[in-house]
Structure 1
Amino acid sequence: MHEITLMQGLALASLAFIVGIDFWLEALFIFRPIIVCTLTGAILGDIRIGLITGGLTELAFAGLTPAGGVQPPNPIMAGIMTTVIAYTAGLDAKTAIGLGLPFSLLMQYIILFYYSAFSVFMQKADKYAETTNTSAFALLNLLTIFIVALTYALVTFLCTYVAQSTMQQLVLSMPKWLTHGFEVAGGILPAVGFGLLLRVMLKKQYSPYLIGGFLFVCFIQVNNLLPVAVLGAALAVYEYFNSKSKAEMLLKIESQSKSSEDFSNGI
């Protein structure tokens, strides 16, 4: 069991403020769980647990992307709270993922509320656009971004520092069968997220890579994921240059066919 200090709580709130802006703008993609969990672990002084929770949470959220007005569970709160719960309650990463999801859903509902609430600013935005008042228009956008980022910081501070004793008592009071259920659910979530990603990205011509990678991981003993990552990078580089050479060959064939056309009739 570990306690989160006031300085750590403020640092986590600052982290949520920054990545909340990035998530709202989708600029640098530092809001992804693998980065958020790692930074959270570094703030808590246990970067190892941040890397472990980051890898599992990133897999769980790999296939969850916004579609129009539909928002998946919030990846920022999932990353922060999964790491915090694993650190403070001494749980493994799989159990912590299941316990961190309610906080992720809470932030999801808050963001959906902002999508509707910010419609009150549209009339002013239209007015500023018509009068070409660019400074006021920019300030209006910055105001909404600041509100969202401040909400991320406030919710994170309340959940990680203010309510940490209540959260620890809740975890300790859970029966063993319920904790095991969260562990099983947390172990399934990465597979579900990766399955959703494959449903969108997997093509027939790439299926040999999937089968080869599956066999490599399951039947060859490796101490870490570095060999798998290197093998995947090598296959990606091969596929890139192979596709590039095919495109150049097709372009060459097209140019040769155009140059060999008969123009004897002036047509």
Structure 2
Amino acid sequence: MQISIFQAILIGLVYYLGNSTWLFGVGYYTMYRPLVNGFFVGLILGNPVLGTMIGATINLMYLGFISAGGALPGDPCLAGTLGTAIAIASGIEPEAAVALAVPIGLLGTLIWYAKMTVNALFVHKADQYAEEGNTKGIAFMDIVPPQIFLFIITFFPVFFAALYGPTAIKSAIDFLGANVLNCLIVIGGMMPALGIAMNLKAIFKGDNRVFYFLGFLLTVYLKLDIIAVGLFGVVLTFIYMKLKKGGNEVVR
């Protein structure tokens, strides 16, 4: 499948919006996730179901993803956006797409650190405006230059990668043969287990273990779906937090 220029433009916009705080943070807090941006990339390429499947598979790898103190171990947004686009256009399996998404996500850290470094310059300029009492200058430095720079470093790399990357990947896979593709599928099948393990490490502590096993029992023995288990979790969390306050407040 050949990605058109218009489709590449839209895919580049998906990655830009996924890194931006426009729309009251809707972009960063939703489209940053591979499950969501995978759907939009699939929609752009005419196969939203496959895009969601690939995005969900990549998302499993980032279940325990934490970006603390300005450090970014990998870029889920780039992995999901570009990984899904290349996978659909190249016709490779979702498991193999995960193996490709890992190095793509690591390359995304370069974009992240470039953004953080240059944005620091805009903050210093905003500080000068603050000392002068120039509120319009503060608002300008908070919005316009950072968004222009963010658009440049996010849109154009993904645009060109989406436009020319799938052809190069497909040619490389055809040259290397089926054995290499099978290896990518095996490796990609193992990567989601890493994300699940990281997530379990975060939640499998103290009293949280009880809720984990309760959810497991509700799913296995009572055959409840994920929505029902989630609603049980909300109710039990409310009760737990009330009880945890001790004698100061009684559950009514």
Q: TM-score range by the shorter chain?
A: 0.7 to 0.9
Aligned to 1:139: 140
| Contact 2:14 2:81 (8 Å CA) reproduced | no
Alignment of 1:57 with 2:58, yes or no, is yes
Quick one: distance in 1 between partners of 2:100 and 2:201?
A: 27
Q: Return the index of the structure with the highest Cα Rg.
A: 1
Equivalent of 1:172 in 171, 174, 194: 174
Alpha-carbon distance, 1:145 to partner: 2.6
TM-score (norm 1): 0.80
Aligned to 1:68: 69
Aligned to 1:82: 83
Instruction: Read off the aligned partner of 1:38 and give its amino acid letter.
Output: F
| Contact 1:95 1:182 (8 Å CA) reproduced | yes
Equivalent of 1:190 in 149, 173, 192: 192
Aligned to 1:18: 17
Per-residue Cα deviation, 1:37-72 (whole angstroms, up to 9, x for no partner): 111111111011111112212211111211213212
For structure 2, which runs of at least 5 residues remain unmatched after alignment? none
Alignment of 1:4 with 2:3, yes or no, is yes
Quick one: distance in 2 between partners of 1:14 and 1:5?
A: 14
Quick one: distance in 2 between partners of 1:195 and 1:18?
A: 29
The alignment's C-alpha RMSD in Å is 2.8
| Contact 2:90 2:170 (8 Å CA) reproduced | yes
Aligned to 1:260: none
| Contact 1:72 1:108 (8 Å CA) reproduced | yes
TM-score (norm 2): 0.84
CA 12–250 in structure 1, closer or farther in 2 if over 3 Å, else same: same
| Contact 1:86 1:93 (8 Å CA) reproduced | yes
Residue pairs, 1:240-255, within 5 angstroms: 240-243=237-240, 246=243, 250-252=247-249
CA 113–234 in structure 1, closer or farther in 2 if over 3 Å, else same: closer
Quick one: distance in 1 between partners of 2:67 and 2:25?
A: 11
CA 69–18 in structure 1, closer or farther in 2 if over 3 Å, else same: closer
Alpha-carbon distance, 1:100 to partner: 2.3
| Contact 1:89 1:171 (8 Å CA) reproduced | no
Per-residue Cα deviation, 1:231-251 (whole angstroms, up to 9, x for no partner): 422431341343256368833
| Contact 2:95 2:188 (8 Å CA) reproduced | yes
For structure 1, which runs of at least 5 residues remain unmatched after alignment? 254-267
Quick one: distance in 1 between partners of 2:119 and 2:234?
A: 44
**Percent identity of paired positions between Structure 1 and Structure 2:** 22
CA 136–55 in structure 1, closer or farther in 2 if over 3 Å, else same: same
| Contact 1:71 1:108 (8 Å CA) reproduced | yes
Equivalent of 1:237 in 212, 234, 237: 234
